[in-house]
Amino acid sequence: MARELLIYRHGKAVSRGETDDFSRPITDKGKRGSQRMGVWLWQKNIRPDYILSSPAERAYVSAQKLCKAMGMDAAAIVTDRRLYRADLKSLLTVLADCPRKMQRVMLVGHNPGITDLLLYLLGGKAPTPDDGKLLPTAALARLLMPDNWKKPGFGSGQLKSLTRPDDLPGKFPYPAPDGKEKRKRPAYYYRQSAVIPYRIEKGRMQILLIGSSKRNHWVVPKGIHEPGLSAQKSAAKEAYEEAGIRGTVNRPLLGKYKYDKWGASCEVEVYAMRVSEVLPDSEWEEIHRGRQWVSTEQALELVKEPMMRPMIETLPEFVGDRG
């Protein structure tokens, strides 16, 4: 049975010299290119079974963006140090180590190595683009391969397609993957989840607020609903990353509201979260935000989002009804 290999070059990154090469971040253009490619793969029903990525910042973030745009859980990505600055020999070894049961494998890596791999598998017979770039940033090559990858030979692959992000629509279908509406961001951006973190101290409820990303007002943890996760698990993940807390997210929905962003309406599902652990400042990655425990009365005054206030106001009763 033939297998498939998807060779993907990471999205565009910042210029060399701005930081060390391994940590070079992906640019906004690179993020959008990876997301457009992810939607395209979803639409064509050619999502991979196994994703291997270089651990370098620009490659791993590209893999995450692409994976989420396909509607997949980015936690499935496997990083392999051998893919960073890999030569042809190293890449063939990586292929040989791929689990044989995985029928469609994606490699996310860097030039010149992955272009050398593509040329080798195609026996040196590859199309010549007008700009001379076989695999520009965020480009994807799809190959049919023999079943056994232990010793893939010269010319053992057959090119099915070579796709560039600039050849794909600039906007994203909503709802994904084939909705008629077109939006500025992938469809999953517009579904979000949030928690109102609370604890009971001496019989009184306290709510944890955190600073906004720009530190100019107070908010509760909120973020994009991660593909592959339930709304509750996505909200708990956001609480851990933004506020440095762990706890139990109540299953019943506390409430929801909408707000405008990225040229459309985002819907936010809000849950109550009983906090069981607060990470020390030394372990909290977003310590720059600041955080504070306040009474429900203070929270009503401090939280900027007006549609969040009714939920804060009813939180004590909501929690009390559920023990």
Same domain, 26 and 143: yes
Is there a domain that residue 178 lies in?
Answer: no
- Domain tally for the chain? 2
pTM for the whole thing?
Answer: 0.90
Last residue of a domain, one of 139, 167, 195: 167
pLDDT per position as a tens digit, 135-148: 999 999 999 999 99
Domain limits at 250? 187-321
Last residue of a domain, one of 113, 134, 167: 167
Q: What is the pLDDT of residue 132?
A: 85
Last residue of a domain, one of 132, 167, 202: 167
56 CB-side CA count, 13 A: 25
DSSP state of 75: G
CA distances from 149 to 52, 104, 121, 181, 192 (A): 15, 12, 11, 42, 41
Which tops the pLDDT comparison, 55 or 319? 55
Same domain, 222 and 117: no
The per-residue pLDDT of the chain, averaged, comes to 94
Contact, 244 vs 253, CB < 8 A? no
pLDDT per position as a tens digit, 142-190: 999 999 999 999 999 999 999 999 999 999 999 999 999 999 999 999 9
Same domain, 19 and 159: yes
Same domain, 142 and 201: no
Tokens of 242: 């933004």
Q: What is the CATH number of the domain that holds 22?
A: 3.40.50.1240
